[in-house]
A and B are shown apart, each in its own frame.
Chain A
Amino acid sequence: MTRRRVPGSLALRLSALYASLCFVAMAAVLFISYEYLDDYLWNRIDNHLLEEIHEYRTLLESQDLDFICELLQHEAQSHESSESFFRIIDHSGVIHCETDMAAWPGVNAEPVLIAEAREWGSAFTVHNHPDRGFAVRVAYGDLGGGFVLQTGQSSTADGLMLRHFKQLFFGAAAAFFVCSIFAGAIAGGRSLSRIQRLTAAADDIAAGAWDHRVPISRRGDEIDELASAFNTMVDRIQVLFKELRDVTDDIAHDLRTPLMRIRGEAELALREGSDLTGLPERYGSVLEECDQMLQLINTMLEISQTEAGVQPITRYPVDLAGVADDVAELFRPAAEDRGIRLETRIEPAPEILGEASRLKRALAHLLDNAIKYTPEGGSVHVRVHREGAEVAVTVVDTGAGIPAASLGKVFNRFYRAEASRSAAGNGLGLSLARAIVRAHGGDIEVQSEAGRGATFKIRLPI
């Protein structure tokens, strides 16, 4: 065996595929979660800033600006001033009051955004603080009375959270990737190890261990189906193999016997030298033996070629009644000489499609058999009639019949019941008849009881 082996190459490909699919799915889920969280966090800051703006606008309706400025300073002191700032500006951009802006360098009041806030009620921007790692969200809100509140909140806390999340994201993805490779390898490997068992079994069987079979798990999955199909195939091959061996043995036997006779005749003729008495008879018997061997070989070939469809049936309309008549007439003198009544009952039947000469041959073998096994004074009936969508040809004899144990084997090549071993013939006639009938899409069956004759029935589709 020169099978090229790439160990586990299929397992590797399967697990890689599995791992990448898992990884892509995981990455997609994580990415969507990240985006969603980011969006959520920004919204939370914006809502908080809008709430502040709303609160101060309500305050300004009842209080004056100075009070609000004081309140802002107060609020700012109680809060962590690095987290948020407030600034009140009028429409011309003049700052009226603000929290300590030392921690917010570069955050200015932008006239464009002030105008936007006046028009729309609020405006947002993002300020990227050079010293801080994270962006500052800045909102402008119209407080009414010609004033605008500029307030901002650092996203430091959220940013850190997102950063953690991102780390978690990559960590989880990496872990997941590794896990899915292992999971893929294990899952693929388990299936593939069963396939490898199948391969090993096939190799064993090819090497001659014909009794070897692949174990089947009770999972009932595709691999079990494959294993079961494989076992069925090996069963079938084993049967065919045995049949072939038996047939070869039979052929060898059936050829050796006539060869022995020919050889014996020739050797004896040489020893006897110039004594030519009986020479024509000897040559005659040699010819006879040769013809027998030839017949055997030709019939064997014909059976296998018919079974294999090497010589397909040519299909023309055939009148089976005519075929049966012709065959019966061929055998009539032979039957008479044996004291056997040959009766035909031929009913009109539709034509079938097939090859008349081969069908004649099949029927001739049945009749030859029936006459051979029927004793003097017996009878052979040939009947043709329609049976539904088929035309049936039956040959009934009153011979010794076939024992029940042999019924299943009479169509096997070379099969001859013990009782008929001594009779002429090579045990191929019924096999050929069946091969021919089956090639026509029909079938042949036998019924018999020991001592009460036999009935062979050919059925052919119309």
Chain B
Amino acid sequence: MHVLVVEDDEKIASFIARGLRQEGCAVDTADNGIDGFHRAMEEHYDAAIVDVMLPRLGGLDLIRDLRKEDNLVPVLILSARSSVDDRISGLRAGGDDYLVKPFSFAELIARVQALVRRARSVADPVTLAAGDLQLDLARRTVSRAGVPIELQPREFALLEFLVRNRGRVISKTLIMDRVWGYDFDPSTNVVESRMSRLRDKVDRGFPHALIKTVRGAGYTIDDKA
């Protein structure tokens, strides 16, 4: 996957690029809107990550110019502001998605992958797998090493999210928000309790535990045993 990152903050650009390369992407960066525009016009990218506040040419203007030239590269807009108006103007300018800083890296990757999938019109897979774990998304069934596992809807959604992002650390806040639709960080063990029930069903009785806790950071599914 070839990704263009247009971001003037050197450190942020650097960590996005490093993270994407770890994911196996080829990354080019530009630190201003004009350079970003020329790069996007010269090469074919699978996705572009564009900051709103850019020197020389603002992010939204950059996107508008690209769309005027019929460049349809999927664009993820980055912004430090979360107001609805900013989101709307970002999407109106031709952006495909909008992410508010600071964001978790897992979220960034998930969004970029979703954009690329949509642009390539790749149909969502019907089954997902991590190691010997199999998820049938159509029937909402799970099995591990051929043994069926009964899950509640919330547990299924949680497991699906972890498997989709396997290898990445998913924070509790991200689970609350993206999996269950609650945009807050509870002070009770809402995520932990649910996760321990999921583990009981998924990992108990198997020699290799798939779901791992990363202290302070969240959870991950690691199938590279």
Chain A residues in contact with chain B, CB under 8 A? 280-281, 283-288, 290-292, 294-295, 298-299, 301, 305, 310-311, 329-331, 333-338, 357, 360-361, 364-365, 368, 371-372, 423-425, 429
Q: A295 vs B177: C-alpha distance in the bound complex, in angstroms? A: 12
Question: Distance (Å) between the CB of A437 and the closest chain B CB?
Answer: 15
Chain B residues in contact with chain A, CB under 8 A? 82-84, 102, 154, 171-173, 180-190, 192-194, 196-197, 214-217
By the criterion CB–CB under 8 Å, are A337 and B193 in contact? yes
Which 5 A-B residue pairs are closest in the complex by CB-CB distance? Answer: A284-B216, A333-B193, A425-B187, A424-B187, A288-B216
Contacts of B102 in A (CB 8 A): 290, 294
Most chain A CB within a 10 A radius of its CB, from B182, B185, B196, B215: B185
By the criterion CB–CB under 8 Å, are A281 and B187 in contact? no
Count A-B contacts at CB 8 Å.
Answer: 86
By the criterion CB–CB under 8 Å, are A329 and B154 in contact? yes
Question: Distance (Å) between the CB of A261 and the closest chain B CB?
Answer: 11
By the criterion CB–CB under 8 Å, are B215 and A310 in contact? no
Contacts of A333 in B (CB 8 A): 190, 193-194, 196-197
Contact partner of B184 among A280, A305, A364, CB < 8 A? A364
In the complex where A333-B193, A336-B193 touch, is A284 in contact with B183 (Cβ < 8 A)?
A: no
Contacts of A295 in B (CB 8 A): 173, 184-185
By the criterion CB–CB under 8 Å, are B185 and A280 in contact? no
Contacts of B172 in A (CB 8 A): 291
Question: Distance (Å) between the CB of A151 and the closest chain B CB?
Answer: 99
In the complex where A310-B83, A311-B84 touch, is A334 in contact with B193 (Cβ < 8 A)?
A: yes
Q: A288 vs B191: C-alpha distance in the bound complex, in angstroms? A: 14
Q: Can you list 8 residue pairs at the A/B interface with Cβ under 8 Å?
A: A281-B215, A291-B172, A299-B184, A337-B193, A357-B181, A361-B182, A365-B184, A368-B187
Contacts of B84 in A (CB 8 A): 311
Question: Distance (Å) between the CB of A339 and the closest chain B CB?
Answer: 12
Question: Distance (Å) between the CB of B188 and the closest chain A CB?
Answer: 5
Question: Distance (Å) between the CB of A424 and the closest chain B CB?
Answer: 4
By the criterion CB–CB under 8 Å, are B185 and A291 in contact? yes
**CB closest residue in chain A, given B103:** A294
Q: A295 vs B187: C-alpha distance in the bound complex, in angstroms? A: 12
**CB closest residue in chain A, given B100:** A298
By the criterion CB–CB under 8 Å, are B82 and A301 in contact? yes
Question: Distance (Å) between the CB of B78 and the closest chain A CB?
Answer: 15
Contact partner of A423 among B82, B187, B192, CB < 8 A? B187
By the criterion CB–CB under 8 Å, are B193 and A360 in contact? no
Contact partner of B216 among A281, A311, A360, A429, CB < 8 A? A281
